[in-house]
């Protein structure tokens, strides 16, 4: 009798349930931690996880917190973060973090359990079409229709998530397929005939831009998160030093260029330093690498770098000439492109120099004048703690340590980016494209589990912190020594700023405290402040203290940093502080607002404030 090869088991083939196959494929992909919240449809997965000792399963207190934690893990390492939920509301609770990972190009695999395959389409209890709901916000998605496909699908999901332009991948698995017995070949091959993440380096296109770069009188580099994703930060620094070109990063690219380096102008965009925005917009040649010309950077797209020759290097062909037409569009991995350019510059005898002022004396002198005239600064008030001051003091106390900072979204996020200087990539973890409040605390959990040897500080606002405050329970149970600073102004600060700019300071649901009280950041009576974060933290078993006086700030930060366990520092700050500078939406870099404006309903231009910006042209 002839035996069909397909009926013959290999020595490595094993019989197991679909859920066990899922977990064993995780192991083969190197997964060491997953964030998973159980429910009726996902119980088989949790049973399988409970028997796998090489994977640490973290129980978040909300599926959104778990998925943000997986994203924080991915941002800190570049490895794939993993989150798991049950069907229905469990799956829909993960949609915001999935969208967040998609917009910021973070590698993540989200596994959602689904009702039994025979019940799909019947509006069964806790059934939702999460496959359809997430289709626009994932790099790829799978609905398992045959349990035998689980090992292959999981391998493909991890491969897709981490290669090319990273992003989230969804796997939706019906419950009966989790329970079904299947034969598993651990060496199952992937089947992705239409996916080719490795692209040939277009050396001809790169050769064409080299003379343009070398011929520039006022060149500038605009580096985005793609430089970080491709692990190209060292290559970027080499390129900047060989060509002696100043570097501005995006918010997602913070740390790709050491921010204390003399060629760094920090980050550009709506709240970036004036000198960063001016450097890029007044350049004659702009080299955009791993950036997508989003509106928070460009402002009015038509006027962004309007007189510059723009070179755009990006892995994703869809980003080239999407938001901004450029002179040279080069599809390439940032690391590979920079490596090629560096080799070429080396062959031409251009040695690395940290800062050769004389090589571009006129251009560098102009940039230095902008730095001197428009430094990042803030108002110090006699009886109040400025929010910027908190970040600055934290920086002075920790600048020698390799700290990871996560943030929520709002004014505190911008202050953190402005007044803390990052020397390495993957040390500033924040929600950029989606701007998701509630990101900071759970992302800090993921960052800690990814790199437990590094200190983690979450900078949050009182509004953003409340959105995932339940994760304090996870932090306590899992003994994560995460430090948190709340810049508490009792308001939705960024929305208040826009109310000042556009609505004559009329407050419309932006006061978070008891409306029967007037907020005073110098209040020291606990009963006058709502909510009371110190008491809330005590309920979670987390050490916390409130700071209202400037003289108490530095000692309190020191106590927080020295604590062996998790800590929350609730710092009371004024609500009428604006994030400055600010380029109002849809306007250009010369329309920057430099002073706080309230009550007139109009955002004045820099020229109206007696700060006419000098032009290089």
Predicted confidence (pLDDT) at residue 612 exceeds the cutoff of 70: no
Query: How many whole angstroms separate alpha carbon 576 and alpha carbon 491?
Result: 9
Q: Whole-number mean pLDDT of the chain? A: 92
What average pLDDT score do residues 408-435 get? 98
Task: Specify whether the backbone of 529 is left (phi greater than 0), alpha (psi in -120 to 50) or beta.
Answer: beta
Predicted confidence (pLDDT) at residue 200 exceeds the cutoff of 90: yes
Query: Has 53 been annotated as catalytic?
Result: no
Res 383: pLDDT: 87
Domain spans in the chain, listed from the N-terminal domain onward: 5-184, 203-373, 387-572
Percent of the chain with pLDDT over 70: 94
Catalytic residue among 16, 26, 29, 63: 63
What average pLDDT score do residues 183-200 get? 93
Catalytic residue among 9, 125, 306, 524: 125
Instruction: Work out the pLDDT band at 514, boundaries 50, 70, 90.
Output: confident
Cβ–Cβ under 8 Å, residues 457 and 403: yes
Res 21: pLDDT: 97
What average pLDDT score do residues 159-187 get? 96
Asked whether the domain spanning 203-373 has the same topology as the one spanning 5-184, the reply is yes
Res 598: pLDDT: 62
Res 528: pLDDT: 61
Res 525: pLDDT: 55
Residue 383: name the closest of 524, 515, 512, 511 by CA: 524
Query: Has 175 been annotated as catalytic?
Result: yes
Predicted confidence (pLDDT) at residue 594 exceeds the cutoff of 60: yes
CATH number of 5-184: 3.40.50.970
**Residue with the larger pLDDT of the pair 608 and 449:** 449
Instruction: Work out the pLDDT band at 523, boundaries 50, 70, 90.
Output: low
Catalytic residue among 79, 175, 483, 605: 175
555 token code pair: 């000692």
Predicted confidence (pLDDT) at residue 614 exceeds the cutoff of 90: no
Instruction: Work out the pLDDT band at 607, boundaries 50, 70, 90.
Output: very low
Task: Specify whether the backbone of 49 is left (phi greater than 0), alpha (psi in -120 to 50) or beta.
Answer: alpha
What average pLDDT score do residues 250-271 get? 98
Query: How many whole angstroms separate alpha carbon 464 and alpha carbon 440?
Result: 8
Positive or negative: CA dihedral 43, 45, 48, 50: negative
Dump pLDDT digits (tens) for 447-499.
999 999 999 999 999 999 999 999 999 999 999 999 999 999 999 999 999 99
What average pLDDT score do residues 392-406 get? 96
Three-class secondary structure of residue 84 per DSSP = strand
Residue 424: name the closest of 404, 452, 409 by CA: 404
What average pLDDT score do residues 39-64 get? 98
Dump pLDDT digits (tens) for 136-148.
999 999 999 999 9
What average pLDDT score do residues 515-544 get? 81
Query: How many whole angstroms separate alpha carbon 6 and alpha carbon 12?
Result: 14
Range in 6-15, 173-182, 324-333, 363-372 the model is least confident about: 6-15
Cβ–Cβ under 8 Å, residues 463 and 426: no
Predicted confidence (pLDDT) at residue 42 exceeds the cutoff of 50: yes
Instruction: Work out the pLDDT band at 527, boundaries 50, 70, 90.
Output: low
Range in 35-39, 422-426, 485-489, 586-590 the model is least confident about: 586-590
CATH superfamily of 387-572: Thiamin diphosphate (ThDP)-binding fold, Pyr/PP domains (3.40.50.970)
Query: How many whole angstroms separate alpha carbon 443 and alpha carbon 420?
Result: 18
CATH architecture of 203-373: 3-Layer(aba) Sandwich (3.40)
Range in 73-87, 303-317, 592-606 the model is least confident about: 592-606
Catalytic residue among 52, 119, 120, 126: 126
Res 100: pLDDT: 98
Catalytic residue among 16, 437, 445, 494: 494
Query: How many whole angstroms separate alpha carbon 301 and alpha carbon 324?
Result: 7
The full DSSP string for 571-608 is EE--S----SSB--TT--GGG-B-S---SS-----GGG
Query: Has 306 been annotated as catalytic?
Result: no
Instruction: Work out the pLDDT band at 608, boundaries 50, 70, 90.
Output: very low
Q: Other C-beta atoms within 10 Å of 393: how many?
A: 18
Predicted confidence (pLDDT) at residue 606 exceeds the cutoff of 60: no
pTM of the predicted model, to two decimals?
0.93
Res 526: pLDDT: 56
Query: How many whole angstroms separate alpha carbon 277 and alpha carbon 263?
Result: 14
């Amino acid at each position: 009798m002839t035996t069909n090869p397909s009926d013959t088991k290999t020595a490595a083939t094993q019989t197991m349930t679909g859920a066990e196959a899922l977990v064993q494929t995780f192991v083969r992909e190197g997964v060491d931690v997953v964030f998973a919240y159980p429910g009726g449809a996902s119980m088989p997965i949790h049973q399988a996880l409970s028997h796998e000792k090489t994977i640490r399963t973290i129980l978040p207190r909300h599926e959104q917190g778990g998925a943000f934690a997986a994203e924080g893990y991915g941002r800190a390492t570049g490895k794939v973060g993993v989150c798991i939920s049950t069907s229905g509301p469990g799956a829909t609770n993960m949609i915001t973090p999935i969208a967040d990972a998609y917009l910021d190009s973070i590698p993540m695999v989200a596994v959602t359990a689904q009702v039994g395959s025979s019940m799909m389409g019947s509006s069964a209890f806790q059934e939702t079409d999460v496959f359809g709901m997430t289709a626009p916000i994932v790099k790829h998605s799978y609905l398992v229709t045959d349990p035998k496909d689980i090992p292959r699908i999981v391998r493909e999901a991890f491969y897709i998530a981490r290669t090319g332009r990273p992003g989230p991948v969804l796997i939706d698995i019906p419950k009966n397929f989790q329970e079904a017995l299947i034969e598993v070949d651990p060496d199952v091959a992937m089947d992705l005939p239409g996916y080719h993440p490795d692209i040939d380096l277009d050396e001809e296109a790169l050769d064409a831009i080299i003379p343009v770069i070398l011929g520039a009188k006022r060149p500038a580099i605009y580096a985005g998160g793609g430089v970080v994703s491709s692990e190209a930060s060292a290559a970027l620094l080499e390129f900047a030093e060989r060509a002696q070109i100043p570097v501005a990063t995006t918010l997602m690219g913070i740390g790709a260029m050491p921010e204390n380096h003399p060629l760094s102008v920090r980050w550009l965009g709506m709240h970036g330093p004036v000198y960063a925005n001016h450097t890029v917009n007044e350049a004659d040649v702009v080299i955009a690498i791993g950036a997508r010309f989003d509106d928070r950077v460009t402002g009015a797209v038509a006027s962004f770098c309007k007189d510059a020759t723009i070179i755009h290097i990006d892995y994703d062909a869809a980003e080239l000439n999407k938001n901004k037409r450029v002179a040279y569009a080069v599809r390439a991995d940032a690391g590979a492109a920079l490596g090629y350019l560096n080799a070429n510059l080396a062959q031409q005898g251009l040695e690395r120099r940290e800062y050769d002022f004389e090589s571009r004396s006129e251009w560098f002198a102009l940039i230095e004048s902008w730095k001197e005239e428009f430094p990042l600064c803030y108002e110090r008030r006699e009886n109040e703690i400025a929010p910027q001051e908190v970040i600055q003091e934290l920086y002075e106390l920790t600048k020698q340590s390799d700290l990871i900072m996560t943030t929520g979204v709002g004014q505190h996020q911008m202050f953190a980016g402005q007044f803390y200087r990052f020397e390495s990539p993957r040390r500033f973890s924040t929600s950029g494209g989606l701007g998701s409040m509630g990101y900071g605390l759970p992302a800090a959990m993921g960052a800690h589990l990814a790199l437990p040897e590094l200190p983690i500080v979450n900078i949050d606002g009182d509004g953003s912190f409340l959105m995932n405050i339940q994760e304090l329970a996870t932090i306590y149970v899992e003994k994560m020594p995460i430090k948190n600073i709340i810049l508490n102004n009792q308001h939705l600060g960024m929305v208040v700023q826009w109310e000042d700019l556009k609505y004559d300071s009329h407050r419309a649901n932006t006061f978070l405290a008891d409306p029967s009280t007037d907020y005073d950041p110098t209040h020291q009576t606990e009963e006058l402040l709502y909510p009371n974060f110190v008491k809330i933290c005590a309920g979670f078993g987390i050490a916390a203290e409130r700071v209202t006086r400037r003289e108490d700030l530095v000692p309190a930060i020191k106590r927080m940093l020295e604590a062996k366990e998790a800590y929350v520092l609730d710092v009371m700050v004024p609500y009428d502080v604006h994030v400055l500078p600010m380029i109002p939406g849809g306007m250009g870099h010369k329309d920057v607002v430099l002073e706080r404006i309230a009550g007139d309903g109009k955002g004045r231009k820099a020229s109206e404030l007696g700060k006419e910006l000098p032009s290089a042209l």
